[in-house]
Structure 1
Amino acid sequence: MYKILEARELTTNIYLMEVEARRVAKRCQPGQFVIVRMDAEGERIPLTICDYNREKGTVTIVFQTVGAGTKKMGELKAGDSLHDFVGPLGCPSELVDEPVEELKEKSILFVAGGVGTAPVYPQVKWLQKRGVNADVIVGAKTKDLIILEEEMEAVAGNLYITTDDGSYGRSGMVTQTIKDLVEEGKHYDVCIAIGPMIMMKFVCKMTEELGIPTVVSLNPIMVDGTGMCGACRVTVGGEVKFACVDGPEFDGHKVDFDQAMKRQQLYQTMEGRALLKEQEGTTHHGGCGNCTDNN
């Protein structure tokens, strides 16, 4: 069992939990995720790591209540326990493997949308601890949906808040802020975008026009977290990939977002899953070992 040390609601239907999980905390890196189950019969919920403390042996997760499992999870309090807390899973951020001196020479931009702010935070914090400052754009529909503002302010080189309705910070979509910053004279060597699929799609369209290499995290399409369900199948540069075992981070300019979002909609129904299984044959599953042909 994994004890919950802190549990609080950040904003409507978005919760933060700090969980005692020493083995996970000891090995995790920014960009990775965990799989959580509340009890032996509970569903598996993949959640990107928001923060970790190796000394305390804790891992922090942030989640939004979108179904029965996460709704039940949102009712847990400090002192309660989770049945499973498995990780770290997935590949760490590419930034972790780059020499720090090379990172210091780069101008890095992060773009976070909604709950995507949570997986952006540990990457920015990791860079800041190594003397690398990064600009961060955090976007949400309204002021009330902005999360982790103080935490992000403490680690970002420059933090730009934007709301769709103009209720806080800059007005408009995150793409408009990217364009504005470049027009104001900012130059970026790389952009890391994490948020809803539709947001990442349009961020990539904008950064491609501006000539900024872009990495996206496809954690929003993960379901099982092991590749066995095939839910997070996506085409990247013409090749079939699975977000949970090959990612979750990919070259955003190579991701077929339209296909991924259409597939996401089909996967939500039994009829849709049956159709996908028929269309994709032996490549329908991901990292489960059932595949004999990845073309």
Structure 2
Amino acid sequence: MDTKQLPKREELTTKIARIKAEPPSIRLYMWLLTLAFLLLVASFILSEPNWPSFLLNLVTEIVGAVIILALVERKLRHHDVEHLKKSVNNFQSQLYFFAFPNAKRLAEYLEQSSSGFNKLSTSLYIDRTKIENRLKIEKDSFALIGGPGTGKTTLLQRLYIDICERTIVALSSGNVPVFIHAKWITPDVEFVEDMLRLHFEQYSTVTINQLYKYIKSGRLVLIVDGLDELAPDQLRDVIGILSSFHDQWPNNQIIVSSRDPSTGPSQLGLKTICVPELTHDEQKRFADLYRIYSQGNVDT
């Protein structure tokens, strides 16, 4: 054997030093603590004079090693850390929901009502960060104005999802969004008592008292899509209903969409935010996404 081809001892030492041992798994820590518990029990059972003290010392060493490695030096595997964090968060959520059942109902509403939008808006998503961020920071009521095919509905759906995601981590203070189409609003039913209540009941057991609590505290974000799609008589009725709601509960945010600011938004006295036209590349990208989305729905 040619000894010249063998690595030097210093090189081997350096390579070994560079190898990082993987931290012990949480399962190993649990086994060690279980072993320590069994040894502790055995120390009280055994009658031999030397064994109890020996076992107690061994238990102390095992528990001390686990504490130092896991808690002090944080020698844990990444996936174990993530699992522990998730378990702690789930426990905290369940404890919070047990103490505050209304929060659980609200969380159910937010998760279920946004799930359908999440799938659709993700499938047809085109990155429009500038206008999306503009909508997210707006606190006053406004009208989203844009021509046909500019993505008004998709932008409002993504805004709805964003509000839901922010409120889920702040259930006691976050805004509560409602997304409805303008054509669903009719003067035949009472707006809050019937229409909004039925909307919430589709997704959760939010009570009418809970709904009024959100409205009175100004936490409701009412998103009404498609004002420009209404006939003149129906538009007049919808504007009247929204105006009455806004006058009675002015602290709640109302967001509407329309192609023309004169078809509704001006009567409501809302500020306008204009959606920029899609560029040629964005139009092509959207057409490709829509074709893929449509084919997927047909196949299923």
* TM-score, scaled to structure 2: 0.29
Give the structure with higher Rg (CA). Answer: 2
Task: Kindly indicate which of the two structures has a greater share of residues assigned to helix.
Answer: 2
Task: Kindly indicate which of the two structures has a greater share of residues assigned to strand.
Answer: 1
* TM-score, scaled to structure 1: 0.29
Per chain length, whose mean CA-contact separation is higher, i.e. which structure has more relative contact order (CA < 8 Å, sep 6+)?
Answer: 2
